[in-house]
Amino acid sequence: MKTLDKIRTERSPFPSTDDFFTAISVDCVIFGLDHESLKVLLIKSDYPLYEGKWSLLGDLVTKDEAINQAADRVLFERTGLQNLFLEQVLCFGNVNRHPSGRVVSVAYYTLVNINHINLAVQDHELHWHSIHQVGNMAFDHNEILNTCLIRLQERIKAEPIGFNLLPEKFSMRSLQLLYESVLMVDLDRRNFRKKVMGTGLLIDMKELESDVPHRPAKLFKFNSEKYRQQDIKGNFV
């Protein structure tokens, strides 16, 4: 059996040329809520093999930028959006995932309210797709999308990230629809209300909705200060 010192001695101090024949890319999954429906922002692939197919927003990492910087650049160049929180999820490195060669991709995701943002880049190849109508995408982007969706669902159950997509004052109905859209489940109204109120993180504004076609509901506000102070963790739904 070879010792560790023997293995080190046999190895060259420098990697072979083949070890450098690898590219790094980033792929950004931009989830959006639009009228309580979860969507994802896609773009038409310009790669010949996948002509006409939709893909995630991504690009190769240049030699002079950090991976996080590349993700921010892709987001800005393709959409005009800046200063969005992007969570790094996973690396995808199957040997044959890219037809051009060895490309390892780092996946990110973010969640936005479609009605609260303005895509500064009005590219006709950009399109919001319902999460249920994505179809077969280019490369391994279906796998990346599904992985990021699972991460989003895990986070929204454990942390109150969904409140950022609601107005400052919101109804319990709006909050439940948000969670149902992201989690893709129907939640029991009474159980949902009991669990959310049990966190102690909602402030009853003593106000009712206005200009709604249904019976006005109570309005609430998320107590972000209490959440920061207590560092509450646990299932919200």
CA 8 to CA 81: how far, in whole Å? 48
Residue 225 has pLDDT above 90, yes or no: no
8 A C-beta contact, residue 175 and residue 196:
yes
Q: Give DSSP secondary structure letters for 140-182.
A: THHHHHHHHHHHHHHHHHHS-GGGGGS-SSEEHHHHHHHHHHH
| Token pair in block for residue 40 | 């994802």
State how far Cα 237 lies from the chain centre.
19
Tell me what the pLDDT averaged over the chain comes to: 85
Q: Tell me the CATH number for domain 17-157.
A: 3.90.79.10
pLDDT at 7: 40
pLDDT at 51: 87
Look at residues 139, 128, 89 and name the one whose alpha carbon lies nearest to residue 109: 89
Residue boundaries of the structural domains of the chain: 17-157, 160-230
Residue 3 has pLDDT above 70, yes or no: no
Class of domain 160-230: mainly alpha
Read off the DSSP letter of residue 213: S
Q: What are 173-212's pLDDT values in tens digits?
A: 989 999 999 999 999 999 999 988 888 889 898 888 777 6
Sequence-distant (≥ 6) Cβ neighbours of residue 235 within 8 angstroms: 157, 158, 195
- Count other Cβ atoms within 10 Å, centred on residue 86: 18
Q: What SS3 state is found at 16? A: coil
Residue 152 has pLDDT above 70, yes or no: yes
Q: Where are the beta strands (DSSP E) in 18-142?
A: 23-34, 37-44, 54-55, 57-60, 87-92, 103-113, 126-130
pLDDT at 4: 45
Share of the chain above pLDDT 90, in %: 46
